[in-house]
Amino acid sequence: MLLFLKSGIYNSYKAKELYKQAKKLSDQGQYRLSIIYYNQSIELDSSNAEAYYNRGVAYSRTGRSMKAIADFKKDLKLNPEDYYADNYIGFVWHNLGNDSIALKEYDKALALHPDFLNALLNKGVALSDMGKDSLATPEFRKALEQDATDADDYYDLGSAHARLGEYGEAIDKFNISISMNSNDAHAYNYRGYVLSEEGKDSVAILDFNRAISIEPDFENAYFNRGISLCNLGKLEQAITDFNRVIELTPKNAHAYNYRGYVLQKQDKDSLAILDFNKSIELDSNNSNTYFNRAVSYTNLWDLDNAIDDFCTSLDRDSTDEHTYNYLGYTLRLYGDNKDALAYFDAAIYYDSTFSNAYYNRAISLIEMGRTKAAIDDLTKAIELDPTDADSFYQRGMLEFKNHNLEDACADMEDAADLGNSNAIKFREKHCE
């Protein structure tokens, strides 16, 4: 009996030590290694609810979603009041693309703790992703009413501001969060994301680098850094980051879509289409992927497939002005200016400041012989974008054909100053 008691005391002690080591590894971002220690700890003491919860977090961070959910449920069986576990189950279901289930779990957490900051934020995100922004905004506002007491709270408040587009306030909160916990990879990553949204990609990359140095397998930080590198024109480095995301999560549809987009920017449209195909295979509901594939088809002069993809994109998002504009452009290439005009009209309906749609509509009008309407559209395009050399050139050509040489030369002067080579030739021949 004494040996048995000693053995029980030893196992309990050993389980606690293994748990401490596992938690330390988790805090350092070494989730795969931490799981080994959690396993050993739980084998010795299966009554430790916190061990199940934290192993669930580690499983989630390494992409093993169903194992994570199973652990959170084991935690709840031992500790039914653990609203953190309900919230995390919702978060995992959200990442799996099932926001209906996620919302139920967030509501369970909020029933136990109505002011739980992270659950309010997560519920808002789920509602927003479901297209229910009018319901999401009050949840974000409720989150912002809560008091912050630690680094995680400031991180959550920063996230709420970011979702509401309040980027200055978001960065302030992330700064405080990082000052309180300088090893929080997620705070660096989110601050970097906000900086990127503000067009500060060079600074954002520093934050993504820091996040990755803390968590070398942090796929979202690689993904965000890839976008910033692409924005800065560092396309090969961007592809390296998207390759890393795909290595970590082979079923990440967004990574294939963005890698395809970068390949498209490198004029490698045939390779880009392969990535868009894979992205659509993994997620057939993303309108942007169909749009991107359509652009590559257009670049390859495969107009039938391009038109099909633009139409599919509009089936999934009927308000995207870029898709209407590009579909009109492709139809014009096809020789169908009448239908093209209807799509340019739609693009302008959804964004009356879309200068390129006015330009494209003007070109179709020119090809249809409607000179006056074309000049009106080119004038509007120039008003919206005074650096649009092509619009100055096209308007100048119309004025020249109308025998208005003075106006034509004025437009060609502007177009030439903006770098239009045809305008430079015209100016040399007719205006000097």
Question: Taking the model in full, what pTM does it have?
Answer: 0.81
Mean pLDDT for the stretch of residues 289-309: 97
pLDDT tens digits, residue range 223-233? 999 999 999 99
Pairs from 146-150 (Cβ < 8 Å, separation ≥ 24): 146/115, 146/117, 146/120, 148/117, 148/173, 148/176, 150/180
Q: Hey, is 196 helix, strand or coil?
A: helix
Measured between alpha carbons, how far is 226 from 220 in angstroms, rounded to an integer? 10
* pLDDT at residue 218 in the model: 92
* pLDDT at residue 10 in the model: 66
* pLDDT at residue 74 in the model: 95
Query: What are the φ/ψ torsions at residue 398 (nearest 5 degrees)?
Result: -65, -40
Nearest to 362 by CA among 323, 400, 394, 314: 394
Q: Please, are residues 378 and 411 in contact by the beta-carbon 8 Å criterion? A: no
In sequence order, which residues have a C-beta less than 8 Å from that of residue 128 and are 6 or more positions away? Answer: 136, 163
In sequence order, which residues have a C-beta less than 8 Å from that of residue 142 and are 6 or more positions away? Answer: 120
Mean pLDDT for the stretch of residues 263-284: 97
Asked whether the CA dihedral 20, 184, 212, 87 is positive or negative, the reply is: positive
Measured between alpha carbons, how far is 362 from 194 in angstroms, rounded to an integer? 37
pLDDT band at 5 (very low <50, low <70, confident <90, very high): very low
Token pair 């894979």 in the structure block, residue: 278
- What's the DSSP call for residue 115? T
Asked if residue 1 has pLDDT above 70, the reply is no
